[in-house]
Structure 1
Amino acid sequence: MSDLGSFVKRLRDIMRNDAGINGDAQRIEQIAWLLFLKVYDAQEEDWEFDDDDYESIIPEDCRWRNWAADDGKGHGMTGDALLDFVNNRLFPALKGLDVDADTEVRKAIVKSTFEDANQYMKDGVLLRQVVNVIDGVDFGDYEESHAFGDIYESILKELQSAGSAGEFYTPRAVTDFMAERIHPKIGETMADFACGTGGFIVSWLKQLALQVRTTADETAVNRSIYGIEKKQFPYMLCVTNMLLHGVEVPQIVHGNALLKDVLDYTEKDQFDVILMNPPYGGSEKASVKSHFPSDLASSETADLFMSVIMYRLKANGRATVILPDGFLFGTDNTKAAIKKKLLSAFNLHTVVRMPSSVFAPYTSITTNILFFDRTGPTQATWFYRLDMPEGYKHFSKTKPMRSEHFDPVRAWWDDRHVIADDETETFKSQRYTAEDIAENGYNLDLCGYPHEEEEILPPLELIHEYQEKRASLNAEIDRVLDAIVAQLPHGDDQDA
């Protein structure tokens, strides 16, 4: 393929003419399963080279090389014949693969990837054109395969404009910063229990790649990762992402990390490092909450993931997690219990507060990065407020957050000191003891941003902001009411 840069545009232009493709989400999903088969076929070539006895789990006529390859002389399937093959042979065969507990992970991922995949295109000639563009990428060529990693990143970014799919992508500048600050070491295991398209895992692998010296190192890196993803589409994208980044046996599970009793986790279920951005804003059913101790059984998704993280982090392990403001300032009984456990059983050493527009324009919810480890209880926590870089009013799709925007945090990280904000008589950076935080009702809303002028937001963003502010107000009302009730005389005193 001569011009990797035009890859996405060429596919988009072809698909616009197909009556079966309705919007960005369907277009990207169509590209995703085709890409998976192409990438998997290239990976199988390597496995066959290394192992003469290797047998594919995919039926011979359904392997990419045998139905998708076109010699350029019109011998490839096209039109109605191609549509019939894909709809009535390929998809039923891959969805119905015989997989059991003994099936190798590298083979089992084929069925799990296609479980809920969809074939939307209705024009077989246009489908042939799309297949030809994808088949033109030479994944056997190191340089071209490496360059395609950047193209794949652009596909993942496009998810943000595909409706609700935007939740699958955390800005790469953020995942890279978090992976860098966690200081990965070869031989450690890393997990993300809501891994989406695999952004945190890729950032982890990039950090470890700098340390690889031997083939043993390389093997250890490839075996170091573990991910769980609830939704089929990002799961497919994540598996493909792992194959593109040289992970031959992606330990990525299609499932829900909240559907197991946290008290049942043992040491073998724990990891050295946890990096993740849990889904937030969702409300879980009572059946999900039943998997957690009563004092930690929140209905808020992010709260439940925090409990999973705490139960699945090894002794002396390290975690870096993105959480919304609602977790920091919420003081209802469950949130307070989760934060009390966090401070009493873990060392919450750093909280980096991020500007509200880091995830703009897809959500206006303000988020924070929590850094903690399982080395003992928290003695004190440093808070650092990361302000907007000079010349930026806010981040946007065309002006996203970049790695260098974290440079002020990097400079402060190894030389921690108090930074006063004289304008607002607050702090940009400050250290608070665990006792300070406990006395404040476990409200971690510290070193926050000064009040900004209200801006007119689009309706959807306005609704998101309203919901977040309402949750904050409800939490504050509950806290005040609890304080008032505590001051009221008991029934016996009233009778007297």
Structure 2
Amino acid sequence: MSLGSLIKKIQDIMRGDAGVGGDEQRLSQIVWILFLKIFDYKEEEWKYTKDDYESIIPEGYRWRDWVTSTSLKEQMTGEELIDFVNNKLFRVLSGDLIKDENGEDILLFKSTKKSALIVKEIMRESNNFMKNGVLLRKLVNEFDQIDFSDIDERHTFNDIYEQLLKGLQKSNGEFYTNRAITSFVVDKVNPVIGETIADFACGTGGFLVDALKYIEENNKLNSEDYLKLQNSFYGVEKKQLPYMLCTTNMLLHDIEIPNIMHDNSLEHDVRKYTDEDKFDVILMNPPYGGSELEIVQKNFPAELRNSETADLFIIEIMYRLKKNGRCGVVLPDGFLFNTDNSKKSIKKKLLEEFNLHTVIRLPQSCFAPYTNIATNLLFFDKIQPTKETWFYRYDLPNGQKFSMTKNPMTREKMLEIDEWWDNRIEVKDEKEDKSMTETWKSKKVFIQEIIENNYSLDYCGYPNQEKIILSPEETINNFKKERERLDKLMDEKLQEILNLLGVQ
């Protein structure tokens, strides 16, 4: 199976349908089809691995019943298929009543198992946008040809799935975090068997899947270990499409009942979390640049709260990380250098209650062209308060920039950070002129210096960094602070002049 040819076939089929418009609708159409195909494959697998397993989906509505067939003549197509999908399949799998042959309302999908509830929620959140039943038949047949029992074909499909996820970036960059970044963060946080691993804005599940792969690749797992992994991963996603993709992604990677919540983590009061709500490992790339309503902000302590989404997620993390737990998180530059009241309080809490041991400054092009906001990787644990923090600036050679086509960001291109991580040394930048200010590529900063610097974490920044795009609130706050600084400076100069003139 050719990766490129299958994706092209899928795209060409949907482009021919008048009911599907735009990338997001095409992806939404793919998601429910893909989910049902994968769920049916998993049920076939569970029949052989679980005693007396019976399909939770009613007969006639399983993928194998309405898609797979021994004869083309038996396959529904055209108007018959559209009518079945819209008026029967979606209603039944959403847990709704349908009419029987006598016109009586009946409930076919009666199961209340967790897996059944997942199917019902996915289908309630889905839509069939296609109007042409012939094209819909072609589309489901393309997916039906994928044999997940074939290891090579399954590996190829994983690549296809990655391509589909990357496609989301074209319309909504927050859905997908570059695999190089998720892989690097997971490597350094080093999750192990038996630990609980969470992402409270999980998108399509990149961090969770990479954590699962990391554990599988670095351990010889037995059946008991695999049972532990089934209950090790927890995700929350606010938006419908990435939630569905994440659930499907976890199924694809053998998590039988994905513990993925369709919810907004920020809408829960952090002060009410108990030990049961905490995790050993937290891996996140929270949305940033967004603004939360005042009613959401009230879920956080008054001295910490503000409207910036990324800041609220950092507070969420601090309240949900277990003692001795570890975290790797992607955050914008604004979190590092901004020292307004709430940001300063958040960083003060972070440094006093957690060990912020490493900050990696990333090139601005890591998430380009979808955002020009400069980002950073922060690594901390809940073992001891911060005594010192290492900062490292990841430079690209010869002024290069990452580009999805010409110079994609890969895990291999981050090997220089791996080498530094294992052999930490301070590296001073070479100055073009002796009069220039001293700057550093890598530096160890002790906590006292950070405190004296008003809790700013803006060390080892890019000397020629492009202009950072700030949120409107950050722009206004920075303007106010700069105005206050200039007013104070002018008052001081005026007083000096008055003193010289002897004017009281």
So what's the TM-score if we normalise by structure 2? 0.89
Label 1:390 to 1:222 Cα distance change in 2 as closer, same or farther (>3 A): farther
Q: Which residue of 2 aligns with 1:462?
A: none
CA offset at residue 223 of structure 1? Answer: 2.2
**How big is each residue's C-alpha offset from its partner over 1:22-78, in whole Å with a ceiling of 9 and x where there is no partner?**
011111111111000000000011222233533333222211111111335331100
Determine helix, strand or coil for the equivalent of 2:247. Answer: helix
Instruction: Select the residue among 201, 204, 209 that pairs with 2:211.
Output: 204
Separation in 1, partners of 2:59, 2:478: 59
* Aligned 8 A contact 1:169 1:196 in 2: yes
Q: Which residue of 2 aligns with 1:459?
A: none
Determine helix, strand or coil for the equivalent of 1:428. Answer: strand
**How big is each residue's C-alpha offset from its partner over 1:334-393, in whole Å with a ceiling of 9 and x where there is no partner?**
111100000000000000000001011111111000000001110010000001145723
Separation in 2, partners of 1:181, 1:334: 29
Separation in 2, partners of 1:470, 1:365: 15
Separation in 1, partners of 2:450, 2:210: 32
Q: Which residue of 2 aligns with 1:167?
A: 174
Is the counterpart of residue 481 in structure 1 residue 484 in structure 2?
A: yes
Instruction: Select the residue among 283, 287, 307 that pairs with 1:279.
Output: 287
Instruction: Select the residue among 309, 313, 324 that pairs with 2:317.
Output: 309
CA offset at residue 417 of structure 1? Answer: 1.0
CA offset at residue 395 of structure 1? Answer: 3.1
Partner letter of residue 335 of structure 1?
Answer: K
Separation in 2, partners of 1:393, 1:3: 30
Separation in 1, partners of 2:334, 2:466: 21
* Aligned 8 A contact 2:290 2:471 in 1: no
Separation in 1, partners of 2:314, 2:267: 14
CA offset at residue 259 of structure 1? Answer: 1.3
1:309-328 residue pairs with structure 2 within 5 A? 309-328=317-336
1:328-339 residue pairs with structure 2 within 5 A? 328-339=336-347
Is the counterpart of residue 471 in structure 1 residue 466 in structure 2?
A: no
Q: Which residue of 1 aligns with 2:161?
A: 152
Determine helix, strand or coil for the equivalent of 1:350. Answer: strand
Determine helix, strand or coil for the equivalent of 1:74. Answer: helix
Q: Which residue of 2 aligns with 1:346?
A: 354
1:26-45 residue pairs with structure 2 within 5 A? 26-45=25-44
CA offset at residue 234 of structure 1? Answer: 0.5
Separation in 2, partners of 1:442, 1:396: 35
Partner letter of residue 83 of structure 1?
Answer: I
Separation in 1, partners of 2:60, 2:456: 60
Unaligned runs of at least 5 residues, structure 2: 97-106, 493-504
Separation in 1, partners of 2:447, 2:157: 47
1:185-200 residue pairs with structure 2 within 5 A? 185-200=192-207
Label 1:4 to 1:396 Cα distance change in 2 as closer, same or farther (>3 A): closer
Is the counterpart of residue 134 in structure 1 residue 143 in structure 2?
A: yes
Q: Which residue of 1 aligns with 2:446?
A: 433
CA offset at residue 285 of structure 1? Answer: 0.6
Partner letter of residue 173 of structure 1?
Answer: A
Label 1:53 to 1:66 Cα distance change in 2 as closer, same or farther (>3 A): same
**How big is each residue's C-alpha offset from its partner over 1:180-235, in whole Å with a ceiling of 9 and x where there is no partner?**
01112111111000000000011101110121331112222232111011111101
Q: Which runs of 4+ in 1 moved over 4 A?
A: 97-100, 482-485
Q: Which residue of 2 aligns with 1:14?
A: 13
CA offset at residue 480 of structure 1? Answer: 7.2
Separation in 1, partners of 2:95, 2:229: 32
**How big is each residue's C-alpha offset from its partner over 1:445-485, in whole Å with a ceiling of 9 and x where there is no partner?**
1110012578xxxxxxxxxx544598257337437738988
Label 1:113 to 1:179 Cα distance change in 2 as closer, same or farther (>3 A): same
* Aligned 8 A contact 1:105 1:251 in 2: no
Determine helix, strand or coil for the equivalent of 1:70. Answer: coil
Q: Percentage identity across aligned positions?
A: 52
Deviates most, 399-408 or 31-40: 399-408
Q: Which residue of 1 aligns with 2:184?
A: 177
* Aligned 8 A contact 1:212 1:218 in 2: no
Is the counterpart of residue 79 in structure 1 residue 55 in structure 2?
A: no
Partner letter of residue 429 of structure 1?
Answer: S
Partner letter of residue 41 of structure 2?
Answer: A
Deviates most, 411-420 or 43-52: 43-52
Separation in 1, partners of 2:4, 2:47: 30
Q: Which residue of 1 aligns with 2:152?
A: 143
**How big is each residue's C-alpha offset from its partner over 1:304-327, in whole Å with a ceiling of 9 and x where there is no partner?**
000010000000000000000011
Separation in 2, partners of 1:20, 1:429: 54
CA offset at residue 92 of structure 1? Answer: 1.6
Q: Which residue of 1 aligns with 2:396?
A: 388
* Aligned 8 A contact 1:329 1:472 in 2: no
Separation in 1, partners of 2:215, 2:263: 27
Partner letter of residue 252 of structure 1?
Answer: I
Label 1:398 to 1:69 Cα distance change in 2 as closer, same or farther (>3 A): farther
Determine helix, strand or coil for the equivalent of 1:117. Answer: coil
Q: Which residue of 2 aligns with 1:375?
A: 383
Separation in 2, partners of 1:78, 1:434: 68
